[in-house]
Structure 1
Amino acid sequence: MKNKLTDREIVEYDKKNLYLGNLNTVEFDLKLPLTGEYGSSITWESNHEGLLKPDGTVRRPAFGMGNRTVELTATFAHGEVSEKKVYEVTILQEKKELRIRKIYTVHKQVKVKEDFYLPESIPVETEDGDTIMRSVSWEGGRRQCLSDVGETSIKGTVEGALQQAEALVDAVEVLETAHRDKTPRLQSLAAPNQKSRVFLESGSVFYDAQERMHQVLLTTDDDQMLYNFREAAGLDTKDAPQMIGWDAPDSQLRGHTTGHYLSALALCYHATADDKILEKARYMVGELKKCQDAFAASGNTKYGFLSGYSEEQFDLLEVYTVYPTIWAPYYTLHKILAGLLDCWRFAGLKEALEIADKIGDWTYNRLARLTKEQRDKMWSMYIAGEIGGINESLAALYEETGKADHLAAARMFDNEKLFLPMEMQVDALSGLHANQHIPQIIGAMKIFEVTGEKNYYDIARYFWDAVTKGHIYAIGGTGEAEMFHPVKEIGRRLTKSSAESCASYNMLKLTQQLYQYEPDVKMMDYYERTVLNHTVASTDKAVTGANTYFMPLAPGSSKEFDDENSCCHGTGLESQSKYIDSIYYREDDVLYVNLFIPSKLEWEEKGICAELQTEMKNPGKVSLAVWPMEAKAMGDTVIRVRRPSWNADEYHVFVNGKPSLTYAEEDGYIQITLEAGGEKQQIDIEFSCNFHIEATPDCPDIVSVFYGPYILAALSEEEEMMELPDEEKLSGMEWVPFCCVDKESYHLYFKKNERR
C-alpha cells in the first residue's frame, strides 16, 4: 500500500499517525522521530528552546515559575510536498524543596509471631502547611515480626526531615478484621439487576448528548477497534485502518480505547435498547475471543492473556522499566477487563464473562509469583506502574465467578501510599495524580462490597470527603495538570489544564457506590453539580464522539475536543450513556428522585411508571407523573424528592394540581405519599431558583455565578479576569449555561466587585 501512495498522501498519513505520547504533563525528554512510518522526513522546531530543544530534550521550569506550554512544530516532507503540524507541550515545573515540620505517627495492629510490613511512605506536614506522602526507611526494614504480645515503637528516617518517624505496632494473639453490613440500603433503578428500565426523554441537553454518542457508536468501525488485538495475536486485520493517538501501533497504551468502546456499547444498549448496538457488542466480544484463543495457541503467552500487544510490557514492568519505554500495562488491561464485564452485566453477553474470567486467571497467576515488595515497587513507578481500577474489575469478577483467586488478585493492587493516609483520615492527596488514584478507591469500595471489610469502606468514604471538600472546582471537576494540589487551592489554579474529564467520570462512579450505602443528600448535590456542569459540558456538540481532556478555567478559555483516543476520549465514549444512572433509586418500595433530568421510569416490580419533566430555563419547576403499568390500581406509593442545595429559600408542593398539606421533609428529602388508585397522579414542586455566587475557598474575591444548579458563562475572548457587576445587575447580563457553550471563549470565574 505504501508504494502506491502519492507524496501528499504519505505526508498526510504521517501527520495523522505520528504520536508523541501524553503532551499535557511532560516531565521527561521526548522522543522525536526524524522519519514517519510512511516515509516522510520530519524536522522539528521549538518556540522556546530553553525549555524544549528540537531534539526533544526537556528542561523543566524552576519551582515557582509555573507549568509552561511550548509550541513544538513538526515539518513533514516527501518529494515536493511539505506540511507543518503544531503540538502544544505542557512542561511541568520542578518540584519544590520541602521542609518538614510534622511526621504523622503510624498505628498498626499485627498478629504476634507473623511477618508484617511497615509502610514505605507516611504522611508529613510541610512548613508551608501542605500535607504529602514521603518515603521512610524503618529500623529493621519494612518486613518485620514481633515475638511478644504488646505495643512496640519502631523508629524510621524520613527523607528531608530532622525528626524521626514512629510506628506504634500492637501485636495480638488474634487479629480480627472489622466488618459492616455490605447490603446496600438503596439501589439505582437503572442498575442491570433491577426489574426496571430508565429512558431519557427527548428535548434536553442530556438526551441530545446521549443520542450524538449513540450515532457515533453506530458508525464506529469495529474492525478498526480490533486492529491492535488481531495484529498482536497474528490474525488477519481485515484491511481495517490502524488506530490513532494513544492507540496507534507505536503507542504502548494501545488497546485501552477498545476496552472503553466495549463499555460504551454495553452502556448505550442499556440506555437505548438499540439492537444494532447489541449486535456490535456481540461482534466485538466474539472477535476478541478469537484473539484470546490465538494468543493461547501461539505458545508465546500464558493461559488467558488478551491485549493489543504481547506480554513484553508486563515482563519489563517486573524488572522496573520506566516510562516511556512501557506505559501502564495494567491500566490498559483494566480497560479491557472492565469493558468485557460491562458487556456481560449490561448486555448479557456470557462469552464476555468467560473471556474476562480467563484474564483474571492470567492476572492472578502472574502476580502470585511475585513478592509484596516487588508488587509495591511496580505500583509506585510513575506512569509505568499505573493500574487504573483493575482492583475493581477483579473484585467484580470474583462477585460473578466466586473464584477466590480473583479476589486475591484484586488485593494485590492495594496501594498503601494512597490507602494509609485515608485510613488515618489525613488528606495527603497533594502531589498525587488525581485520575491515577480515584479508580483505585473505586476498587477499594468494590472489595468492601464483596467482602464487607469495613476498612475498605472507610478508605473510600474519607477519600470522597477529602476530594469534594478540598479539591473541587465550581463545575465539580478536580485536579490541575492532572494533579491534586494543596487543600482548597482552587482560585490560584484557574488554568487551561484544569479538571481532567476522566477524574469526574470516576468521582461520579465512586459517589454512586457510596450513596447506595449512605444516602446523604450532599452526595447527590455533588453528583448533580458535576453531571450538569462538567460531564454534559465536556462533549462536542457535533457528532464526532470527541470530548474535552481538560476543562479550561482560565479567563477567555475555550474547549478543545479530543478524538485521538486519549483516556478522556475513552471515558467520554461511556459517559454520555450514563445520565440514567442516578435519577431514580429505590429503598424497598420507596422511590427516590435525585436528578432532575427529563426521563421515564418503568418499575416492573412495583408496577408503576413515572415521568419526570423539568426545563433548563426554569430548573426550579419539577414535575413527576406516576401511573400504574397495567390497567389496574397501584398501591400506596411513597416518593422522596431531593431538596437541592441551590434551593436556599422556600418551595411549594402540589399533588394533582392542589397544594399538598401532608408532605414531610427529612434528611434533605421531601416525602410525598400518593394514595392507591388506578389513575395517573401528578406531583409538582416549585423550588425557588435564583442567581447566586460561590467564592473560591482560597481567594474569596474570585467567584462563580450560578442560576439554580447551572454554572453560568460569560462569553468573551478577554484574557484578563472580568469583574462581576453589582448583584442587582446580575440578571441583566447575558449569561449562557456552561453546558450549552460549544467552541466559544468564556469566563466562569470573576473578580468580585470591591463595592459588593
Structure 2
Amino acid sequence: MASAAPAGLFASPAGAAPAAAVPDAWAIRPFGLGEVALDDSIFTDKRDRMLGYAKGYAAELGELAGPDRMLYNFRAAAGLSNPDGIEPPGSWDNDTGYLRGHYSGHFLSMLAQAWAGTGDRVYKRKLDHLVAGLGECRDALAAAAAGATPRVEGRSGTAVRLTGSPIGHAEHLALPAGLVDGLTAVTVATWIKPGSADRSKLPDPNADPAPLANGVKVFDFGTDANAHMYLTVRADNANPFPRFAITTGGATAEQRVTATAPLPAGEWTHLTVTLGGGNAVLYVNGTAAGSGPVTLTPADLGASVANWIGRGQFPQGLTQYLNADIDEFHVFGAALGAEQVAALAAGEGEGGDLAAYRFDDEPGPVCADASGNGRDAELIGPGDGNRHAGFIAAYSETQFVRLEEFANYGGNAGIWAPYYTTHKIMAGLLDVHRLSGSTAALELATGLGDWIHSRLSRLPRERLDRMWSIYIAGEYGGMNESLANLAEARPDRPEYLETAKLFDNTALLQATVAGTDLLDGKHANQHIPQFTGYLRMHEQGAGEDYKTAALQFWDMVAPHRLYAHGGTGVGEIFRRRGVIAGSLWQYPNDPNHAETCCVYNLLKLARNLFFHTGDTKYMEYYERALYNQILGSRHDEDSTEDPEVTYFAPVRPGRWRDFGNTGTCCGGTGMENHTKYQDSVYFAAAGDDALYVNLYMPSTLAWGGVTVVQTTDYPFEGASRLTVRTRRRATFALKLRVPSWAEEFSVKVNGRTQDLDTAPGAHVTVSRTWRSGDTVDIAMPLLLHTEAALDDPGIESVYCGPTLLAIQHEAVGDDLATGLIDVAVGDDLSAFEPTDEPLHFTADGYTFAPFHLGNRAPYHLYWRRR
C-alpha cells in the first residue's frame, strides 16, 4: 500500500515491546491489541466488567493486593513471607491445591492484555509488581537449589535430613546398582528420627501428612515394583508398625515381617532387618520386634538397579518420600545374629561390609561409602547439581519427579498436571514481554525454559510418550506453543524448539497426521492446545507434519464435534464424531457440556490456521464461538471478587449456566477471553496490500497512516459502515467477510453499489486507491435460519444472523425423547415473531432469547421442529 508502514504486529502503548516478526509461513497477520480500539457495544459491556475485576480484585487491601494474592503460593513455596492479610486466590489455586500457580499465569495475561488495550497504567503497575515478585521467588528457589541438603546433628556425628513430600524437596539417596545382587543373606541397619524437618520453613507447612504415614520407605532395593525388598516406617492402618517385605510378584506376593509396636516420631530409633536361612527378623533398638519365615532372598530379585534410601520403587499417594533424619546406614552381606545387632544398636561393632554411610562428610551431592568398597551414594535433592536455577512454581519439584515416575508405574495420585501449570506461568510471562516490553518477564520465561530442558532432555522418548498420555496428570496445556514462542522471542536460543518437541504426544500426533481420528474419549482441553503448539512449532521450522496435524485435527473437530454455540465435548471429553443430538442425553451422569477452556483454545487454533490458509471457515467458526459461547460465558453482573465466568455452557435441554470460577482453568482462560475481543476484528495481508474485515464490531483500527472506523450495531442489526481516514491516498484491497448465513450481502462505496460476487462464507474484495473520508456501507439483513444436528435432521437450533437463540424454559423430561421441546414452525420460520426486546422472538408460545445473555436461567439450545 502507498501509506506509511503499519505500526507492527504487536503494537501497544508507549514503552511496549518492539513489534514481533511475522512468521514466514503466515500469509495473513494480526494487529496488536493497541492498534484496535473497541467502541461501545455488547463487547465493551462484557470487557469492562472484566477490566473492573482486573483493576478492583482485592483492591480494598491496596492497589497491589491482587498481585500479592497471586504471589501467595509462590512465596510460600520459596520460603518467603506474605504480607499481612493476604491469602491465596482459592479453589484449585489454594495453598494446598496441586494446580496452584496456574491462575496467576492467567492473571498475568489478563493484566498484559488490559494494559495493551487501554494504556491505563494501573494495569502496568500491577504487572510490574507481579513480575518482580515472581523474580524474587525464583531467586529464593534458586538459592535453595544451590545450597547443599543439610547435614544435621545425628545419633553420632552428623546425619542427613530428608524433608519428605508433598511439600518438602523430595530428597532421597540413590545407592549403586548391583548393591545386593546375588546375595542369599543380607542385613540392613540404620538410625532413623522420623518427622525431624522444621515444616514451618518448608512450603505449605499445613499440607504435610503425618511423619509416620503408611507406606513411606526407609529403604527400597530391587528391580522395580514387582521385584524388590523394602522397610517401611508404618505398614497400614490395621498394622501401624514398621514392616519388612520382599517380593518377586508385586504386592500380592509379598513375604512380610511386621513389628508389634509403632515407631515413635521425633526420636532416634535403631532399625535392623536380617534375612537369610529362610527367616527374617526385624529389630527395633537392638531387640527383635518381629520375625517369620521368608524364603526369598536378594538373589531372587534379579539385577538391583533401583536401590533407594528414603523413597520407594513406585509412587504411593502423598507419601512417596521419607520425612526423617537418617544416620549410620549399613549394609552387610550376611544375616547378623542377635548379639551383633544389639552391638550395632549400642554403637559398637563394625560398619557394613558391603556399604556404610555415616554422613559425616561435607554436605553435597555425594555421601561417601565408609566401607572401603567405593559404593558412594548420590543424594538427590537441593544441591545435587541437577536442579536448574530457572525453576518457578508454587510448589516443589516433587510434582514433576512424580509425573516421571507415574510414566513408569501408572497412576496420578498426589499430582495434577504440573506442566499445565508451568505452561500458564510461562505463557503469562511471554504475554507480559510481548505486550508490555518487560525484559524481566522474558528473562524469567527464559530461565523456566532452561529448567524444562534440563528436566526433560534427559528422559527417553518412551518415557515422555507415557507421560503425555496419562489422563489429567500428563496434561501440559500449550507448553509446546510457549516454547515455540520463546524460541521466536529468543532467536539466539534455537534449542527451545527442540525442547518443544519433547512435548510431542507421539501416538496421537502420528495418527492425526495420517488422518486417523482417535479423539473419541480423549480429554478435550488436554489435547486441543497441543495442536496449536504444533502449528507454532511448524512456524518456527519444526517441519511440515506439525502443520498437517493441526489442519487434520481441526477437520476432526469442526463441524463433527461442535455444538450450536461453538463448544465441544460432553463434560470435558471429546465424544464420537458426528454425534450431536445423541450426546445431549447419552451420558446421564454428566449433564454438562462444552467446557469453556476448549472454546478458548479452539479460537486460538482457528485464528492461527487462518493466518496460513486464508480459509474463511476458520473465521466463520470464530464468529460463532465468540458471539455465542464466549459472550455468553460472562455473567452480566459486576464483580471485583470473582471473574464471574462459566466453566461449562451446557446443551442438555433445560440446563443453565453457573458463573464464578475463581482459581479454576476456565476462570483463568475466562479472564483472557474478555480482555482481547479486538484481536481478530481486522487482519492484514503479510505484504500489507490487503485489509481483512473478519468481524463486524464497532471499532477503530490504526494501521500505519490509515485509520478505519467501523460503525455498527451488529449483531443487533445487519449493517456496518467503514470510514477510511488517511493522510494521503492509500492503495489496498478491502476484504469483507460474507457470513455463511447472509443470503443477501451488498456493498456501497461512497454511496455507490458495487458489482461484486458476494458468495456466503467467503471474503468479498473491494480494491481501490482510498482517500480520506471514503465510506463503505455493508448491508446483510439479519436472517432467521435453523441448523439441524448432524445426526438427527429433526432436532434443530435457530439463529438470527450470527446469534444463537435459546428457548427460555426449564427442563421438561429426563431423556432425549421427553426432554426436547416440540416447536410448531413452518419451513419459512414465519411463526417466529419479534418482541420489543432486541433479538427476542416468540414461536408456538415459547420465548427465544440470545444465548449471549449472561444469566442463570434454564434454556434449550436444541428443539424438535413440529
Q: Map 1:534-573 to 2 at 5 A.
A: 534-544=629-639, 545-573=643-671
Give the AA of the match of 2:142. A
Residue 621 of structure 1 deviates from its aligned partner by: 0.9
Q: Which of 84, 89, 92 is residue 243 of structure 1 equivalent to? A: 89
Which has the higher mean CA deviation after the structures are superposed, 534-543 or 721-730? 721-730
Aligned to 1:685: 778
Q: Map 1:618-633 to 2 at 5 A.
A: 618-628=716-726, 632-633=727-728
Q: Which of 124, 127, 139 is residue 293 of structure 1 equivalent to? A: 139
Which has the higher mean CA deviation after the structures are superposed, 351-360 or 541-550? 541-550
Q: Map 1:385-400 to 2 at 5 A.
A: 385-400=474-489
Residue 182 of structure 1 deviates from its aligned partner by: 4.0
Aligned to 1:406: 496
Q: Map 1:504-515 to 2 at 5 A.
A: 504-515=599-610
Residue 618 of structure 1 deviates from its aligned partner by: 4.0
How many Å separate the matches in 2 of 1:725 and 1:363?
A: 59
Is the counterpart of residue 219 in structure 1 residue 56 in structure 2?
Answer: yes
Aligned to 2:456: 367
Residue 407 of structure 1 deviates from its aligned partner by: 1.4
Given the superposition, is the C-alpha separation of residues 343 and 704 from structure 1 closer, same or farther in structure 2, using an over 3 Å criterion? Answer: same
Which has the higher mean CA deviation after the structures are superposed, 313-322 or 384-393? 313-322
How many Å separate the matches in 1 of 2:637 and 2:649?
A: 18
Aligned to 2:754: 660
RMSD over aligned Cα atoms? 1.8
How many Å separate the matches in 2 of 1:524 and 1:355?
A: 34
Given the superposition, is the C-alpha separation of residues 490 and 667 from structure 1 closer, same or farther in structure 2, using an over 3 Å criterion? Answer: closer
How many Å separate the matches in 1 of 2:794 and 2:526?
A: 32
Given the superposition, is the C-alpha separation of residues 416 and 665 from structure 1 closer, same or farther in structure 2, using an over 3 Å criterion? Answer: same
How many Å separate the matches in 2 of 1:474 and 1:665?
A: 22
Aligned to 1:349: 438
Aligned to 1:445: 535
Give the AA of the match of 1:249. D
Question: Alpha-carbon deviations, 1:24-55, whole Å to 9, x = none?
Answer: xxxxxxxxxxxxxxxxxxxxxxxxxxxxxxxx
Which has the higher mean CA deviation after the structures are superposed, 492-501 or 209-218? 492-501
TM-score by length of 2: 0.63
Given the superposition, is the C-alpha separation of residues 662 and 493 from structure 1 closer, same or farther in structure 2, using an over 3 Å criterion? Answer: closer
Aligned to 1:613: 711
Aligned to 2:766: 672
Give secondary structure in 2 for the equivalent of 1:492: helix
User: Does the Cα contact within 8 Å between 2:745 and 2:758 map onto a contact in 1?
Assistant: no
Residue 673 of structure 1 deviates from its aligned partner by: 3.0
User: Does the Cα contact within 8 Å between 2:24 and 2:539 map onto a contact in 1?
Assistant: yes
Is the counterpart of residue 696 in structure 1 residue 534 in structure 2?
Answer: no
Q: Which of 478, 482, 494 is residue 584 of structure 2 equivalent to? A: 494
User: Does the Cα contact within 8 Å between 1:361 and 1:405 map onto a contact in 2?
Assistant: no
Residue 414 of structure 1 deviates from its aligned partner by: 0.2
User: Does the Cα contact within 8 Å between 1:259 and 1:338 map onto a contact in 2?
Assistant: yes
Give secondary structure in 2 for the equivalent of 1:626: strand
How many Å separate the matches in 2 of 1:741 and 1:263?
A: 23
Residue 322 of structure 1 deviates from its aligned partner by: 2.9
User: Does the Cα contact within 8 Å between 1:608 and 1:634 map onto a contact in 2?
Assistant: no
Is the counterpart of residue 586 in structure 1 residue 428 in structure 2?
Answer: no
Give the AA of the match of 2:138. Q
Given the superposition, is the C-alpha separation of residues 617 and 505 from structure 1 closer, same or farther in structure 2, using an over 3 Å criterion? Answer: closer
Q: Which of 74, 78, 99 is residue 253 of structure 1 equivalent to? A: 99
Aligned to 2:26: 184
Q: Map 1:465-504 to 2 at 5 A.
A: 465-494=555-584, 496-504=591-599
Aligned to 1:358: 447
Give the AA of the match of 1:591. L
How many Å separate the matches in 2 of 1:540 and 1:667?
A: 31
Q: Map 1:81-96 to 2 at 5 A.
A: none
User: Does the Cα contact within 8 Å between 1:441 and 1:460 map onto a contact in 2?
Assistant: yes
Aligned residues: 561
How many Å separate the matches in 2 of 1:182 and 1:479?
A: 34
How many Å separate the matches in 1 of 2:690 and 2:648?
A: 39
How many Å separate the matches in 2 of 1:214 and 1:730?
A: 37
Give the AA of the match of 2:810. E
How many Å separate the matches in 2 of 1:342 and 1:470?
A: 32
How many Å separate the matches in 2 of 1:226 and 1:612?
A: 40
How many Å separate the matches in 2 of 1:288 and 1:248?
A: 17
TM-score by length of 1: 0.72
Given the superposition, is the C-alpha separation of residues 317 and 663 from structure 1 closer, same or farther in structure 2, using an over 3 Å criterion? Answer: closer
Residue 470 of structure 1 deviates from its aligned partner by: 1.0
Matched-pair identity in %: 38
Residue 670 of structure 1 deviates from its aligned partner by: 1.6
Question: Alpha-carbon deviations, 1:575-616, whole Å to 9, x = none?
Answer: 101211111011122111001111110112xx1111112224
How many Å separate the matches in 2 of 1:535 and 1:618?
A: 17
Which has the higher mean CA deviation after the structures are superposed, 418-427 or 500-509? 418-427
Aligned to 2:696: 596
Question: Alpha-carbon deviations, 1:659-713, whole Å to 9, x = none?
Answer: 2347877982121234343x31111111132111111001211100100110001
How many Å separate the matches in 2 of 1:371 and 1:651?
A: 57
Give secondary structure in 1 for the equivalent of 2:740: coil
Larger radius of gyration: 2
User: Does the Cα contact within 8 Å between 2:635 and 2:854 map onto a contact in 1?
Assistant: no
Give secondary structure in 2 for the equivalent of 1:695: strand
Give secondary structure in 1 for the equivalent of 2:852: helix
Which has the higher mean CA deviation after the structures are superposed, 246-255 or 266-275? 266-275
Residue 375 of structure 1 deviates from its aligned partner by: 1.4
Given the superposition, is the C-alpha separation of residues 617 and 328 from structure 1 closer, same or farther in structure 2, using an over 3 Å criterion? Answer: closer
How many Å separate the matches in 2 of 1:633 and 1:380?
A: 57
Give the AA of the match of 2:620. D
Is the counterpart of residue 716 in structure 1 residue 809 in structure 2?
Answer: yes
Given the superposition, is the C-alpha separation of residues 653 and 354 from structure 1 closer, same or farther in structure 2, using an over 3 Å criterion? Answer: same
Give the AA of the match of 1:257. Y
Mark the runs of 5 or more structure 1 residues left unpaired by the alignment: 1-180
Residue 533 of structure 1 deviates from its aligned partner by: 0.7
Give the AA of the match of 1:542. E
Which has the higher mean CA deviation after the structures are superposed, 394-403 or 248-257? 394-403
Residue 324 of structure 1 deviates from its aligned partner by: 3.6
Aligned to 2:78: 233
Given the superposition, is the C-alpha separation of residues 665 and 469 from structure 1 closer, same or farther in structure 2, using an over 3 Å criterion? Answer: closer
How many Å separate the matches in 2 of 1:541 and 1:676?
A: 40
Aligned to 1:523: 618
Give the AA of the match of 2:782. C
How many Å separate the matches in 2 of 1:693 and 1:667?
A: 16
